[in-house]
């Protein structure tokens, strides 16, 4: 926060005018950048500087507030504590509460507004590099509509955001971030434990099937036994010992499950786990769709630092990297092929 006090931050930095294509998934984005993003750089850089100036001004005002509040509190305790202890304590509580809350809401609100504008105006222009996609910061999507997959963990609260819909290589994509939490004490909601933090990805399938096949992470002998007891689906035994160590498969149609879980699919699913940092990916085939739950360590749709020049290059590189991992699911699993996953 106190970084805002530096006057150098409110000076415009050198702007890069070309997008460097350094990764395979960035090939072709330089032309895309010139067409859809470059003309917005100057305006957003001006907005970035004005936002920092406003946040800096608010920080300075807050520091003066803290100084005078300290003086007032000292004065109250020195002169009025013996006369009315309750009023002095209450006044102190109000002054301190305002002083603590201000940095997070009042000082940073211009920065949050600026970052929201980046998401609204810039992210869609990065997304359209991959095809016809729409991006919304807020969403009405919920994991409630996926309870039938038997993947959704028990939870008490859900925070969903960053919703993407569109088509990639003839495959319909519906993706959103969500955080699921559960009360640690049934009689109190003051403490929440996160049971899932990541993305939900729904992909259309070009491979017809009528049943339901669930691929869950292996959670040990006892945990797997409890899952088996809680579902009407039957366990599917596969011949890959490494896959069996990572996943447990259940289905209402053993033949169809093996039709879907080919050797190639299994190998590619293991590769996806590695691509996402060893996190446990879970999925379900149902209603001619593939639903995937992918835990992630950070927000996929974070903006670049407001303390650096705004040329959208870092924002684009970050988003391209993250989305390429998502769209690699389609490329890797070859969902657009009607045979042989």
Domain extent listing, the chain: 38-116, 129-333
**pLDDT at 106 (0 to 100):** 85
**pLDDT at 341 (0 to 100):** 46
Query: Which residue, chain included where needed, has tokens 């870092």?
Result: 314
Helix (H) or strand (E) holding 226: helix 220-230
Q: What are phi and psi of 296, to 5 degrees?
A: -130, 155
The whole-angstrom separation of Cα 296 and Cα 279 is 8
94, 88, 92, 4: which is closest to 48 by C-alpha?
4
**pLDDT at 221 (0 to 100):** 63
Cβ–Cβ under 8 Å, residues 40 and 120: no
Cβ–Cβ under 8 Å, residues 191 and 185: yes
Global pTM? 0.79
The whole-angstrom separation of Cα 100 and Cα 65 is 11
296, 323, 331, 305: which is closest to 135 by C-alpha?
323
**pLDDT at 176 (0 to 100):** 95
**pLDDT at 224 (0 to 100):** 63
Which residues of the chain fall short of a pLDDT of 50?
A: 340-341
**pLDDT at 299 (0 to 100):** 79
**pLDDT at 131 (0 to 100):** 87
Cβ–Cβ under 8 Å, residues 176 and 139: yes
Cβ–Cβ under 8 Å, residues 317 and 155: no
Beta bridge partner(s), residue 161:
177
């Amino acid at each position: 926060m106190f970084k805002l006090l530096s006057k150098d931050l409110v000076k415009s930095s050198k702007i890069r005018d070309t997008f460097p294509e350094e990764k395979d998934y960035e090939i072709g984005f330089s032309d895309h950048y010139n067409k859809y993003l470059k003309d917005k750089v100057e305006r957003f850089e001006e907005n970035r500087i004005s936002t920092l100036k406003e946040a800096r001004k608010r920080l300075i005002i807050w520091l003066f507030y803290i100084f005078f509040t300290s003086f007032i509190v000292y004065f109250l305790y020195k002169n009025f504590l013996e006369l009315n202890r309750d009023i002095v304590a209450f006044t102190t509580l109000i002054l301190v509460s305002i002083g603590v809350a201000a940095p997070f809401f009042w000082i940073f609100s211009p920065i949050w507004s600026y970052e929201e504008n980046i998401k609204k105006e810039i992210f869609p222009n990065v997304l359209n590099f991959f095809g016809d996609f729409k991006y919304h910061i807020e969403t009405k999507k919920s994991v409630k509509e996926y309870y039938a997959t038997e993947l959704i963990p028990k939870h008490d609260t859900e925070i969903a955001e960053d919703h993407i819909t569109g088509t990639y290589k003839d495959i319909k994509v519906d993706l959103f971030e969500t955080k699921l939490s559960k009360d640690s004490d049934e009689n109190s909601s003051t403490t929440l434990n996160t049971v899932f933090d990541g993305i939900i990805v729904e992909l259309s399938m070009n491979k017809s099937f009528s049943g339901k096949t669930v691929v869950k992470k292996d959670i040990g002998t006892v945990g797997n036994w409890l899952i088996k007891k809680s579902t009407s689906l039957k366990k599917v035994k596969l011949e890959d010992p490494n896959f069996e160590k990572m996943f447990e498969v259940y289905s209402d149609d053993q033949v169809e499950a093996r039709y879907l879980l080919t050797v190639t699919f299994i190998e590619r699913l293991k590769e996806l786990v590695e691509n996402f940092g060893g996190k446990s990916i879970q999925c379900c085939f149902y209603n001619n769709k593939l639903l995937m739950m992918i835990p992630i360590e950070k927000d996929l749709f974070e903006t670049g630092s407001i303390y650096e020049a705004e040329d959208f290059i870092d924002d684009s590189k970050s988003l391209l990297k993250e989305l390429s991992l998502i769209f690699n699911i389609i490329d890797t699993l070859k969902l657009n092929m009607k045979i042989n996953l």
